[in-house]
Structure 1
Amino acid sequence: MASLTISDLHKSFGSVEVLKGIDLEAQSGEFIALVGPSGCGKSTLLAMIAGLESVTSGEIRIGDRLVNSVAPKDRDIAMVFQSYALYPTMTVEENMRFGMESRGIPKAEQKEAIERVSALLQIGALMRRKPGQLSGGQRQRVAMGRALVRDPLLFLFDEPLSNLDAKLRVDMRTEIKKLHHRVGKTTVYVTHDQIEAMTLASRIAVMDRGEVQQFDEPETIYNRPVNMFVAGFMGSPSMNFLPSEIAVDAGKPVVAFTNNGETAKLPIVGDQHADLRPGQKVMFGVRPEHFALHRGDEDRVVGELSAEVEVVEPTGAETMATLRVGDQEVTARFQPDAAPREGQIARLAVDMAKISLFDAETEQLV
């Protein structure tokens, strides 16, 4: 195993700067996810780690070795692509063997590696089939198997589940996590799906417009996003934002905003917002699961809010609702037996210990 260190990495195509000073470090055996919208630079970064794109400036190190000018074949990495990239005229076994033959690995070692990896991925029964005879999930297992037989220092995944249907994507996500637990290799995984990133990675780099907005553990990124972009991108449905102002009520700081012609005042709790000042313009962020129907016996610090219920969407395990707060729509998540009805004016409890406040101008967490 080996660590991966990226220092002040820049990439330009002509006058267009695609990556703007990336700093990342994956510890040996760690699973890192690169996540962000299309065009944010995550696939370009992965290609540079693989050696498929040149470095404009900065450094990439695998272990202690600077690899900026090292050819892809000499970096001791293995890459799994979105398109599987299997040779259609070769059997599964031939696809897995091809790379080892190219590197002159003895046949006995090839056989041992193929048997070990096919057992690990449970594809032993597929060895004589060709890719056209396999399902999408089976092809992805073979693509991973072809990477695993190399026993590389570093695994790179480029949106490997994007071509699979929803159920198979969940199943394969679980398989990838199990696989990482078994082999323990340093892994960099690119995805636009923030659920994949949250469930798979030990740390996540959230990227936007060629920069890393936040690099941290999934729980920290979800609960303490550093800015509105991260808060809105991570989470499904995304965080709700209400334009607000800091005020004082009965000597205590509150978040104030207009709701149905009246001023709603919700208490600010905890020490993380100690630097707020009265009159400061903020965006009040609250995740859908931090709403509940107000019962009057809540055992946590809450704010109370009234909202018209516009749409209710049962999904089985939970019920989603779209509500109107002033001139803003918000989304709330409820347990099915504790959900409001369409057309109702619901009294909502807001868990104020879980909210986020962002500066209205800079959009940074305050």
Structure 2
Amino acid sequence: MSSLTIRNLRKSFGAVEVLKGINIEARTGEFIALVGPSGCGKSTLLAMIAGLESVSEGEIRIGDRLVNSVAPKDRDIAMVFQSYALYPTMTVRENITFGMESRGVPKPQRDEAVKRVAALLQIEPLLKRKPGQLSGGQRQRVAMGRALVRDPKLFLFDEPLSNLDAKLRVDMRTEIKKLHHRVGKTTVYVTHDQVEAMTLASRIAVMHQGQVQQFDEPQVVYDRPANMFVAGFMGSPAMNFIPATLTTDAEGKPAVSIKATGGTAVLTLQDGISPGAAGRDVILGVRPEHIFRYSHELKASKKSIASVDAPVEMVEPTGAETIGLMRFGELEVTGRFDPDEAPRMGETITLGIDMSHACLFDPVTRNLI
């Protein structure tokens, strides 16, 4: 096994700089997810780690070895592509062993590797079939098997589940996580799906416009996003952003005032937030699951709950929960509700906001305060 270190990595195509000083370090055996919208540079970064794109500036190290100028075949990596890239005329066994055979690996060693990997991925009954006889999930397992037989230092996944249907994506996500726990290899996984990143990775690098916006553990990225881009990208529905002004509550504690139905609401901030001087404009960030139907019992059990009256403009039942769209002044704000307590469209309800999970952002820099 081996670690991966990326230092001040830059990539330009002509005058266009697509990666702008990337710094990431994956510890040995760690699962790193590169996540971001299309065009953010995540697939280019993965291609540079693989050696499929050249480095304009900076360093890539696999273990202690600088690999900037090392050919892809000599980097001791294995890559699983979005398209599977299986040979249609070969059987599953032949697809898995093709690379080993090309490198002159003896047949007994090839057979032992296939046996081990087929058992690991539970594809023993498929070894005599051809790719056209396999489902999408089975093809993805074969593609992973082809990578696993190499026993590489580093695994690279390039959006491997994007061609699968929703249920199969969930199933394969579970399989990849189990696989990583079994083999323990350092893994870099590219995805635009923030749920995949949250569930699979030990740490997430959120990318935007060729830069890493935040690199941290999934829960830290979700709870304390470094800026408004990260806050808005991670989570579905996205975090609510509410213009606010710093003030104090009736007891003189730091608070924010926001526009709400019938006037201004004052929401007390929790200990640990250092917002600055009263009168400063800020952006209050609240995730939908921290907006719900207010009750006095809830307020009595949790002092961080603030209340706001708001008219309900839209209700979207999803089965396990109900999404509500409420009006805060000129803004629409999203909340999550238990189906048994779901609001009705057109009514005005008292909402509870759990301020212990609130974030404050600077409206100019858009960074977390």
Same fold (TM over 0.5): yes
Residue equivalent to 1:348: 351
Residue matched to 1:270: 271
Name 1:309's counterpart in structure 2.
312
Q: Residues of 1 paired with 2:69 and 2:280: CA distance?
A: 50
CA distance in 2 between partners of 1:305 and 1:275 (Å): 21
Q: For the residues of structure 1 that align with 2:131 and 2:291, how far apart are their CA atoms?
A: 48
CA distance in 1, matches of 2:276, 2:167: 45
Shift of 1:275: 4.2
Q: What's the offset of the Cα at 1:274?
A: 2.0
Opposite residue 255 of structure 2, the aligned amino acid is: V
Cα distance per residue 1:55-97 (max 9 Å; x no partner): 0010000000000000000000000000001111111111001
| Matching residue's letter, 1:307 | A
Q: Name the structure 2 match of 1:18.
A: 18
Structure 2 partner of 1:44? 44
Moved more, 296-305 or 228-237: 296-305
Bigger drift between 102-111 and 52-61 goes to 102-111
Question: Counterpart of 1:142 in 2: which secondary structure?
Answer: helix
Structure 1 residue 185 displacement after superposition:
0.3
1:331-346 → structure 2 map (5 Å cutoff) = 331-346=334-349
Q: Provide the rounded CA distance (Å) in 2 between the counterparts of 1:177 and 1:276.
A: 43
Aligned length: 365
Q: Which runs of 4+ in 1 moved over 6 A?
A: none
Q: Any residues of structure 2 matched to 1:52-91 within 5 Å, and which?
A: 52-91=52-91
**Amino acid of the structure 2 residue aligned with 1:306:** D
Code of the aligned partner of 1:336:
P
| Aligned partner (choices 338, 359, 362) of residue 365 of structure 2 | 362
TM-score when scaled to structure 1?
0.98
Deviation at 1:303, TM superposition (A): 1.1
In structure 1, the residue matched to 2:31 is 31
Match of 1:326 among 326, 329, 332: 329
2:125 is aligned with what amino acid?
Answer: A
In the alignment, the residues of structure 2 paired with residue 95 and residue 252 of structure 1 have an alpha-carbon distance, to the nearest angstrom, of 66
SS in 1 for 2:276: coil
Alpha-carbon deviations, 1:5-33, whole Å to 9, x = none? 00000000000000000000000000000
1:158 aligns with 2:162: no
For 2:249 and 2:162, locate their aligned partners in 1 and report how far apart those are by CA, in whole Å.
50
Structure 2: tracts of 5 or more residues without a match:
none
After superposing the two structures, state which structure 1 stretch, 76-85 or 318-327, moved more.
318-327
- In the alignment, which residue of structure 2 is the partner of 1:169? 169
Match of 2:291 in 1: 291
Cα deviation code 1:134-169 (max 9, x no counterpart): 111111000000000110000000000000000000
Cα distance, 1:327–1:275 mapped onto 2, change above 3 Å: closer
CA distance in 2, matches of 1:296, 1:180: 46
Cα distance in 2 between the residues matched to 1:39 and 1:115: 40
Q: For 2:333 and 2:83, how far apart are their aligned partners in 1?
A: 37
Distance 1:29 1:98 in 2: 26
Contact 2:312 2:346 in 1 (8 A): yes
The residue matched to 2:356 in structure 1 has which SS? coil
Calculate the TM-score normalised by the size of structure 2.
0.98
Gaps of 5+ in 1: none
Q: What is the Cα deviation at residue 248 of structure 1?
A: 2.1
CA shift for structure 1 position 261? 4.4
Any idea what SS the aligned residue of 2:296 has?
A: coil
Equivalent residue of 2:204, what SS? strand
- State the distance in 2 between where 1:304 and 1:342 align: 19
Q: Distance in 1 between matches of 2:354 and 2:260?
A: 18
**Aligned-partner Cα distance in 2 for 1:181–1:88:** 30
Distance in 1 (alpha carbons) for counterparts of 2:312 and 2:287:
17
Match of 2:226 in 1: 226
Answer with 119-128 or 256-265: which moved more. Answer: 256-265
Aligned: 1:210 with 2:210:
yes
Contact preservation (8 Å) 2:248, 2:268? no
Residue 189 (structure 2) aligns with: 189
Shift of 1:289: 0.4
